[in-house]
A = this chain, B = another copy of it.
Amino acid sequence: MNLPLGYRYSATYAGIRREARDDLALIVSGAPAAAAAVFTQNRVQAAPVKLCRQHLRASRGQVGAILVNAGNANCATRTGDRVALESCRAVARQLKLPPAQVLPASTGVIGVELDFTLIQKALPQLLAGLAEDRFSDVARAIMTTDLVPKEAFGEFRLRRGTVRIAGMTKGSGMIQPRMATTLGFVLTDASIPVAKLREILKRANERSYSRLSVDGDTSTNDTLVLVANGCSGVRPDPKEYAAVEEAVAIVAETLARQIARDGEGAKKLVTIDVTGAANNDAAAQIARAIANSPLVKTAIAGSDPNWGRILSAAGNAGVVFDPAKVDIAIQDVTVCRGGLAARFSENELKNRLDQAECTIHFQIRGKGKGAARFWTCDLTEGYIRINASYRT
């Protein structure tokens, strides 16, 4: 898969995290690019989230570079706002950009001061390392408790030529993005005006990051940025925007799914489909309630087709439905029909649940057309081990 044209990438170790692996990364567009972003809905917002919002407003969605660090969330700190601003300014000076065209993003521990001098000292090496083929180095640098880097690519023909799209993301815990998750960057070389880009991101986000939960905790730093630099020289026809949106959404979905699969301690990716609800929002609420139930998630970990927990979790979604009209299938095996136990071979289904991917289909019989797909993971002892000792 080819990377989008006109972007350069770099990553280095600035000493922000204890472990000596890259923790500071930069994405630079060779041409002025349009950008749209969605952010966490947490009431507590990290300094880079606030500044990123300000910069996008001040620049009217023009962006030249994205500066990201891992190992420190730059949230709830005395000097956070200043460190975020100084960091963007330093990058802007070197790249000869207005400071508002540099977007900051941070991920890591909350409440610990981020030392600007570490970033300052690492900048020369970071800039010197910029190269078109270092996309994956950035994807690795932004990892925290992630076990694997997360990337997704697309390439598609429009009438006027081919455009490319590449996305990266990170995230493993504190994951229940309400708008976006932890960090995600999706880049394309198509030429798309800012207003259109915002629409595309909003809808793509709704069916990807907003349908994802690892542990029900929404981070203070969630940021998803979509950048279009036009370096392909291809501007979509008005009729082609639906296809562009579909391509962006597929990349975003692929990234979101990778986050669920790499959820802290997770052994299994769980895909939850809810159909037959009154509307899509109601379906999503039911799916979210199932995805966030620790009893459902531990049952999946134990390969236990305990559909009673699924029905009970759905009952807590705050959505009106008739339990007597509910069918539930696990791994395509109907385990509950009309709200009652269906006949199935428990041993056979247990074996099927030992796979790395599990599906739950919660279907309400009737006239409702509301549907939603949601991703989560199982809850294992690994989640506890990781999070009982994250800082120590």
- Interface centre among A173, A306, A320, A336, by most chain B C-beta atoms within 10 angstroms, is A306
Question: How many whole Å from A307's CB to the nearest CB in chain B?
Answer: 6
The quantity of this chain's copies bound in the complex is 2
- The listed residue (B174, B298, B336, B392) touching A304 by CB distance below 8 A is B392
Let me know if B384 and A312 touch, CB within 8 A: no
Say yes or no for A218: interface residue by CB 8 A criterion: yes
Convert A352-392 into 0s and 1s, putting 1 for each residue whose CB lies closer than 8 angstroms to a CB of B.
Answer: 00000000000000000000000000011101110111111
Asked if A15 lies at the interface with its beta carbon under 8 angstroms from chain B, I say no
Q: Which of B45, B113, B319, B381 contacts A385 (CB 8 A)?
A: B381
When the two chains form their complex, are residues A316 and B217 in contact, meaning their CB atoms are under 8 A apart? yes
Contact call B43/A302, Cβ cutoff below 8 A: no
Which residue of the partner chain B has the closest CB to A113? B341
Residue pair B383, A308 in contact (C-beta under 8 Å)? no
B residues in contact with A380, CB < 8 Å: 384, 388
Contact code string A290-317 (vs B, CB < 8 Å = 1, else 0): 0011110011011010111101111111
Chain B residues within an 8 Å CB radius of A295: 173-174, 215, 217, 387
* Most chain B CB atoms below 10 A, which of A41, A220, A308, A391: A308
Q: Which residue of B lies closest to A318 (CB)?
A: B43
Given A383-B298, A389-B304, decide whether A316 and B76 contact each other with a Cβ distance below 8 A.
Answer: no
Q: Which residues of A contact B (CB under 8 A)?
A: 41-45, 73, 75-78, 109-113, 173-174, 215-220, 292-295, 298-299, 301-302, 304, 306-309, 311-317, 319-321, 323, 336, 339-341, 379-381, 383-385, 387-392
Pairwise interchain contact B73-A110, C-beta atoms closer than 8 A: no
State the CA gap A301–B387 with chains docked (Å).
9
Question: Does B391 contact A111, Cβ atoms closer than 8 Å?
Answer: no
Say which residue of B302, B311, B314, B391 sits within 8 Å of A389 (CB atoms).
Answer: B302
